[in-house]
Amino acid sequence: VQRVKPALLKGFDQEFLPHEQLQFNQLLDTIRRSFELYGFLPIETPSAELREVLTSKGAVEKEIYALSRLAAAPGEESAGRGALRFDLTVPLARYVAMREHQLVFPFRRYQIQRVWRGENPQANKGRFREFYQCDIDVIGKGKLSPLTEAEIPSVIWRLFTQMDIGAFRIRINNRKVLRGLLQSFAIPEEKAADALRVLDKIEKVDRASILGDLAEAGVAGTAAEALYALLSEKRETDATLQQLRGLGSVRSEVFEQGLKELEFVVGAIRDFGVPDSAFRVDLGVVRGLDYYTGTIYETTLIDHPDLGSICSGGRYDDLASYFTATKLPGVGISIGLSRLFAKLNEMKLLKQPARTPAEVLVTVMDSSLLTRYLSWANRLRGEGINTEVYLEAAKLGEQLGYADKKGFKLALVAGSREVEQGVVQVKKLADKSSVNCRDGELVDTVKSMLAHKGN
């Protein structure tokens, strides 16, 4: 046989052993559960979309994976019309535009799927070319209450509290405030986008670089220095709001509107029950994308700011203008779970041990008693208890070793004498203690021993 070396494709290489997969799935479950707790409904979209759909809004084409056939079929071109999605927002826009008459608005959806981006893995350490995104969005038809912008932080708050990965801060800003500030420094509209892209890096690079890049973007002198000072200072929420209110020189309409929105959203976030310790207005939150028009969010682990934002998003005016004339304002956030999981693992921040589905292993000491062993397994399964029967010929020690390695909680052990006496030994694998019970009490004994183990 000509052998091929079993290996993974570069960037498509976040693949887990079963116990890691269980931990990853547990995180997925927590996220799904939190989203459902707030009335979000699931959708999934196909992995590949029409190329013109994916690129309608403009996209980094060299990072998009196009599909073609490995070999051309007769009468068909090998190059196809499809490409893999690079985010969950464009598919959502296409989905809502296609189905706007079938959906109930405000449309609250969650979507947890893989996306693909042909970024250079060297240049982006810890990033993958295939990774999970976990998104929620609320889409209105024609209108959407600003209260929704305040609800999103309450979802983030509950989710990360649930995840139990340490103190975090949801950092909030408003794009209109930022645009108004640029106006007030007499930075013309056509330079604003470039300036914001520079300012988006304010927490990652030093003052000199930011000022240099701003100058290159056409913003220099006092304006640049004042902008830098405003956006890089850290204050409490109310102090920041007061500071903004006191900016006497700033009198643009868009700034006033932004400040009003920000004050409203902060008040409502408190109404939603998010404690001040978990969120803060931070003018240094910029978000690179032009897409956002109102409130914007980033979320940082307080003890691990270097990890960057673990959950980001914002308010936008129109989700699907490239697909439909219907105005669809919305607000949404996204969690890049693959990278987050890798980092949490690396930093040992995942406190909850993975729930293993392995509950009971029925060992086989005497194969002539197989029918009895199998009947025990079926009784336990009938009660919803995950039960495996060890089917290979092996010594008891080997079977118990297997149970240990796979993380079983209990093992049933019975030889011909026990079976004759109608007795089963139930072994707790964590501490090797065991209980003998009557055949008829097996289910109750197992149930209480599993509950005892905090199941």
Residues 181-210 touching its own copies, rule: CB under 8 A, are none
Q: What are phi and psi of 240, to 5 degrees?
A: -65, -45
Name the segment binding its own copies (CB under 8 A); options: 42-50, 173-181, 216-224, 254-262.
Answer: 42-50
H-type alpha helices, 185-252? 189-199, 207-216, 221-232, 237-245
Residues 117-136 that bind its own copies (CB under 8 A): 118, 120, 130
Q: How far is the CB of 67 from its own copies (least distance, A)?
A: 5
The dihedral formed by the CA atoms of 428, 432, 437 and 441, expressed in degrees to the nearest 10:
0
Asked if 153 interacts with its own copies (CB under 8 A), we say: no
Residues 373-402 that bind its own copies (CB under 8 A): 374-375, 378, 381, 384-389, 391-393, 402
The dihedral formed by the CA atoms of 287, 339, 85 and 162, expressed in degrees to the nearest 10:
-80
Nearest to 39, CA basis, from 108, 111, 140, 141: 108
362, 376 contact by CB (below 8 A) = yes
Q: How far is the CB of 136 from its own copies (least distance, A)?
A: 12
176, 294 contact by CB (below 8 A) = yes
Q: How far is the CB of 171 from its own copies (least distance, A)?
A: 22
**How many CA atoms does the CB half-sphere of 24 hold within 13 Å?**
21
Asked if 140 interacts with its own copies (CB under 8 A), we say: yes
Name the segment binding its own copies (CB under 8 A); options: 81-89, 192-200, 223-231, 295-303.
Answer: 81-89
Asked if 61 interacts with its own copies (CB under 8 A), we say: yes
Q: How far is the CB of 212 from its own copies (least distance, A)?
A: 24
Closer of 232 and 318 to its own copies (Cβ): 318
Asked if 321 interacts with its own copies (CB under 8 A), we say: yes
Closer of 147 and 430 to its own copies (Cβ): 147
Q: What are phi and psi of 77, to 5 degrees?
A: -75, 145
Rounded distance between C-alpha atoms, residue 47 and residue 86, angstroms? 9
Residues 240-279 that bind its own copies (CB under 8 A): 268, 271-273
| Residue 260 burial (C-beta neighbours within 10 Å; 0-12, 13-18, 19+) | middle
Q: How far is the CB of 53 from its own copies (least distance, A)?
A: 6
Rounded distance between C-alpha atoms, residue 67 and residue 44, angstroms? 20
Q: How far is the CB of 381 from its own copies (least distance, A)?
A: 5
Listed in sequence order, the residues at least 6 apart from 127 whose beta carbon sits closer than 8 Å to its beta carbon are 11, 119, 121, 339
Closer of 164 and 271 to its own copies (Cβ): 271
Asked if 58 interacts with its own copies (CB under 8 A), we say: no
CA 119 centroid distance within chain: 19
Asked if 323 interacts with its own copies (CB under 8 A), we say: yes
Asked if 48 interacts with its own copies (CB under 8 A), we say: yes
Closer of 205 and 370 to its own copies (Cβ): 370
The dihedral formed by the CA atoms of 153, 158, 160 and 166, expressed in degrees to the nearest 10:
110
Asked if 215 interacts with its own copies (CB under 8 A), we say: no
Contact pick of 30, 87, 98, 247 for its own copies (by CB under 8 A) = 98
Contact pick of 125, 143, 348, 432 for its own copies (by CB under 8 A) = 143
Tell me the number of residues near its own copies by CB under 8 A: 114
